[in-house]
A = this chain, B = another copy of it.
Amino acid sequence: MQSRSERFAAFRRALKDKGLKSTAQRDAIAQTFFATTRHMSIDDLYQEVRKANPRVGYATVYRTIKLLKDCELADERHFADGQTRYENADSEEDHHDHLICDKCEKIVEFNDQRLELLQEEIATNLGFVLARHRMELYGICRECREGAGGGRRRPER
């Protein structure tokens, strides 16, 4: 796993390589993004960034997250709720998948080597060389089941 500062340095370097400028806004957005482990929506990120630097507009968050995507430092994910969310990109060895509670929308990350191997095998059998995959499991988490309808529901968007 790359550290926060390594990611930030990579971002700065990528900007320079592309002939783009470093700005206070881009720095604040990137730092904020790298500092979190959550799956953030644009709005989450915007709210968070403004705590550090209120001089940041919504559009710049969009523009910057797009840069991070291009640099492969951010992964964009489309979950079943339709909200686009972003997370820090995995390095190869650090891949994980998602298990999502249908009720409280909690997202649990997991990694299972057997799953990775099995996928590799399936792809190979069908003549493919596997590049990547995306897997999401949906169900109901223990808390929501035991809480007898008590699972905290996230507020409607």
Which A residues are closer than 8 A to B by beta carbons?
76, 78-80, 82, 84, 99, 101-102, 108, 110, 112, 114-115, 118-119, 122-123, 126-143, 145
A79 surroundings in chain B (CB, below 8 A): 78
Are B122 and A129 in touch, CB under 8 angstroms?
no
Cβ-defined partner of A137 (8 Å) among B119, B139, B142: B119
> How many copies of this kind of chain does the complex include?
2
A112 surroundings in chain B (CB, below 8 A): 118, 122
Beta-carbon nearest neighbor of A125 in chain B: B110
10 A-B residue contacts at CB 8 Å?
A78-B79, A108-B126, A112-B118, A112-B122, A114-B118, A115-B119, A127-B141, A133-B136, A135-B135, A135-B136
Cβ-defined partner of A133 (8 Å) among B108, B123, B135: B135
